[in-house]
Amino acid sequence: MSPFASLPLLLALVLQAVPAPEPGPSGVIQAVEQKYAGLKSLSAAFTQTYQNAEQRLEESGTLVLKKPGRMYWEYRKPTLKHFLVDGKKCIFYVPEDKQAIVSDIDLHDASIPLLLLFGKTRIEQNFQVTPESEEEPLAAENSLVRLTPREPQGEFTHILLEVTPAGLVHRLTVVDPIGSRNDYVFSDIRENARVPDRAFDLKVPKDVEVIKE
């Protein structure tokens, strides 16, 4: 038997034992853009944690998204809140306060980090993408990158994007100029979920104060 006959098998065993290289920051972003560009809808549970030097506040609820431009966040704990994007405007309604804030929105606006979930923004055109060196991803198998806006933004200095191997956003963190941060962590993510149009039918009672910005 030739001494080289078993070489292909040995090579295959060696290759299986060598872990695949970690994707670079650009590869991570390309995976995210490809994933979200291909989605028609999405549903997920979320936890939002706001932290600054003095306090830590945690809220949770559900998110549904449907292209081309609708998104609805229902905060359930600790206080019921509604945040709706209908493609042209957004409505933030807190029943407890009997107040709704309505403002226009541009789905391509890179200054609104959560709009990255629509897959409309060319991330590397608007952000410098680098590996995150100051903290670890929540899950060891995920990748964590830092997005620094190429044009200065008054609302935030950078974004942390934690991405699963499948290209889904597991965490989106927005850090503001004074060091406060908003962490959005997504779970139970369902791609191309069946989302009826009525899911975006937010009815604001007539006795609620509506503030237009």
Q: What is the 3-class SS of 119-188, one letter each residue?
A: CCCCHHHHEEEEECCCCCCCCCCCEEEEEEECCCCCCCCEEEEEECCCCCEEEEEEECCCCCEEEEEEEE
- Please give the pLDDT value at position 22: 53
Express each pLDDT in 123-135 by its tens digit.
999 999 999 999 9
pLDDT range class, residue 169, cuts 50, 70, 90: very high
In a domain, 139, yes or no: yes
C-alpha distances in Å from residue 67, one per residue of 93, 113, 118, 183, 204: 22, 17, 7, 24, 23
Identify whether the C-beta of residue 115 lies closer than 8 Å to the C-beta of residue 100. no
CATH of the domain at 48: 2.50.20.10
- Number of folded domains that form the chain: 1
- Please give the pLDDT value at position 20: 42
Work out whether strand 56-66 and strand 169-175 pair parallel, antiparallel, or are unpaired: unpaired
Rounded to the nearest 10°, the torsion over CA 25, 26, 32, 35 is: -140
- Please give the pLDDT value at position 110: 66
In a domain, 171, yes or no: yes
Model confidence, pTM:
0.85
pLDDT range class, residue 183, cuts 50, 70, 90: very high
Where in the sequence is the domain holding 170, given as residue range(s)? 22-203
In a domain, 10, yes or no: no
Is a pLDDT exceeding 50 seen at residue 60?
yes
In a domain, 105, yes or no: yes
